[in-house]
Amino acid sequence: MPMKKLSFVSRLLLSVPTVYILYTPVDSAFGHSYGEWRDVQQIYASTCHYCHDTGVAPVLFGRALPPQYIAHRVRNGFNAMPAFKPSEIGVADLEALARWIEQSAVPGEGEQ
């Protein structure tokens, strides 16, 4: 009997993130065509923020991640992270985003 209850609880816990992702209103990368991004902040807010600023995925800021590493992960995906095609985030936009993330500080650092 306890195994059945654990199984139900496990299934319930696994369904929560799926429901959250499916029903969260998102101005996603898929809603934009190549060249329509205003700036790197908009790209980040529309595609990266939902996981990388909420504890779902690793924090990106303040880690001095090489732009080539970031671009590779964005294009190829990794684990639960989807891959983004050039039609979703253009080459120049991805390069600018990767440089911006590389040069970023840890959130809250330097604020008083």
What fold characterizes domain 27-103? Cytochrome Bc1 Complex; Chain D, domain 2 (1.10.760)
- Cα–Cα distance between 109 and 92 in angstroms, integer? 28
Residue-range domain boundaries for the chain: 27-103
- Tens of pLDDT, residue by residue over 7-43, are 776 666 666 666 566 555 444 444 555 557 889 999 9
3-state secondary structure (DSSP) of residue 41: helix
Residue by residue, DSSP assigns 46-76 as: IIIHHHHTTTSS---TTS---HHHHHHHHHH
State how far the alpha carbon of 111 is from the alpha carbons of 56, 75, 82, 101, 106, in Å: 25, 33, 33, 18, 10
pLDDT score of 41: 93
H-helix or E-strand spanning residue 19: helix 2-23
- Cα–Cα distance between 106 and 62 in angstroms, integer? 4
Q: Is the pLDDT of residue 55 over 50?
A: yes
